[in-house]
Amino acid sequence: MEFTFSAATGVSFMMLCLFAVLAFGYLLGRITIKGISLGSAGVFIMALVFGCFFYNNLSEALTVNDTSFVKDALKVIENIGLMFFVTAVGFIAGPGFVSNFKKNFKSYVLLGLVIIVSGAVVCIGCILVDRNFTTLSTQEVAAMMTGIFAGALTSTPAFSASKGAVAEGLDGIVSTGYGIAYLFGVVGVVLFVQLVPKIMGADIAAEREKITATDTGTKKTCDRKLIEMDEFGFMPLALAVLIGVTVGSLKFGNFSLTTTGGCLLAGLLFGHFQHIGSVSLMPKTSTLKALRELGLVFFLAGAGISGGANFVNYFKAVYFLYGIVMTVLPMIIGFLFAKYILKLPLFNNLGSITGGMTSTPALGTLIHVTGTEDVASAYAATYPIALISVVFASQLIIIFFS
């Protein structure tokens, strides 16, 4: 039995599938075992499963004028979600970001570098090991491992840079590695930020006070009555997204901040200054929290459905194992370095880990675990150095090990 759709009904059916994934993903995320749950990452798992079993049929059914718009529609959903989430995070973290960054600048830079360098070393080790147990060529092994490296750190910029750096015809192998490692790259960091406080027996309230004291001690206040552009603050948020996307699209050689970096930077600046003259630049807190959550699950749904399309076809247990190692070892090394060398408080440590691993979903989970938005400052401080480092590391690995 064949189904045909007009453009209008096709979009409606896509929305139906999207919200089904969200609904059942939230149910999955609510399942708690010994205090550990997937949370919003449950949406990603459900989306991945949906993509594995239904993406191809959906793509064939939703074809209008010989053009399937499923892939483009999912990319739009993913990007809108990403814009909402990181911009909202930037606004929330902005008021305390500068003071926190000044106090811990060296620590954040060092931690970001430690995480990425250790991940790159693990990637190189996997390349050297895999060369002895595969029929792939040297160039193909390097392409696969850099794809796994990018997926293990859920880094789209590194993924894009790797595809551009490999020899012609090998970009598909990079995509395969990225898709295989991306699943644990998301879930692994989400579970890590939940497990560590429990394993350490952390006093959540006491740890929250430490990071709050650090991040809110110099927040600025304005006694003047400010002009609100709209009731909820959508206008300044939309303006921040506009500026962020524009800045993120600027390229310096092969490097750009991307939508994530641009929107995060714009949100931080708006959140830091809070107003221009008597015009408010701050949306309501309730607006920011709602868009942060909505953006996160839209991003996870879009990425999960499209990522599930080829997951089964290209999956190999050994590649999945490499991805686990590339995710877990940098986190552990980074955490121990921050705890014993840098002496960062626990929540600053974990917030920095999510930034160093460039893990947007893990930040969302950490905010829920800690009960404070201030962990986003540590994420935002570590993220830029990690973003730049992982892009260069991916390119260098291909250059020297292909």
C-alpha angle with apex 196: 190 to 202, nearest 5 degrees?
130
Q: Positive or negative CA dihedral for 225, 85, 18, 73?
A: positive
Q: Please give the angle made by the CA atoms of 352, 354 and 360, to the nearest 5 degrees.
A: 135
Q: Are 382 and 116 in contact (CB under 8 A)?
A: no
The tokens of 51 are what?
């993509």
pLDDT of residue 311: 67
Question: 3-class SS at 198?
Answer: helix
SS3 state at 27: helix
Can you tell me the distance from the alpha carbon of 310 to that of 180, in angstroms, rounded to the nearest whole number? 9
Q: In DSSP terms, which residues pair with 63 in a beta bridge? A: 68
User: What is the structure's pLDDT at 399?
Assistant: 83
| pLDDT score of 217 | 45
Looking at residue 1, its pLDDT comes to 44
What tokens does 392 get?
């260069």
**Domain presence at residue 1:** no
CA 312 to CA 34: how far, in whole Å? 30
Tokens of 351: 């917030």
Residue 336 domain-assigned?
yes
Residue 367 has what pLDDT? 87
In a domain, 135, yes or no: yes
CATH number of the domain to which 281 belongs: 1.20.1530
pLDDT of residue 216: 47
The number of distinct structural domains making up the chain is 1
- What is the span of the domain harbouring residue 139? 7-401
* Dihedral in degrees, nearest 10, Cα atoms 25, 29, 31, 35: 180
CB half-sphere exposure, 45, CA atoms < 13 A: 18
What lies within 8 Å, CB to CB, of 70 at 6+ separation is: 14, 55, 58, 59, 62
Q: For residues 382 and 353, what is the distance between their CA atoms, to the nearest angstrom?
A: 8
Q: Give the torsion sign (CA, 72, 74, 77, 78).
A: negative
The DSSP result for 34-79, as a single string, is TTEE-TTHHHHHHHHHHHHHHHHHHHHHSEETTEE-HHHHHHHHHH
Contact (Cβ atoms closer than 8 angstroms) between residue 382 and residue 112: yes
Residue 192 confidence (pLDDT): 92
- pLDDT recorded at residue 333: 96
Please indicate, yes or no, if residue 122 is contained in any of the structural domains.
yes
State residue 263's pLDDT score. 85
**Best CA proximity match to 316, nearest among 144, 166, 152, 167:** 144
Measured torsion, CA atoms of residues 146, 151, 152, 153, in degrees rounded to the nearest 10: 100
CB 370 within 8 Å of CB 202? no
181 found inside a domain? yes
- Reading the chain (402 residues) residue by residue, the pLDDT tens digits are 455 555 556 677 788 888 999 999 989 888 877 666 777 778 878 888 888 887 777 776 666 554 567 777 888 888 888 889 888 878 887 777 777 667 777 888 899 899 999 999 999 999 999 888 877 788 888 888 998 998 898 876 677 667 767 777 777 677 778 778 887 888 889 889 989 999 988 888 888 887 765 554 446 555 668 888 888 889 999 999 999 999 888 877 666 677 777 888 888 888 888 888 888 888 888 889 888 889 888 887 887 787 677 666 667 788 999 999 999 999 999 999 999 999 989 998 999 999 898 887 788 888 888 888 888 888 878 887 887 788 788 888 888 887
Q: According to the model, what pLDDT value does residue 6 have?
A: 54
- The reply to whether 2 falls in a domain is no
CA 28 from centre of chain: 20
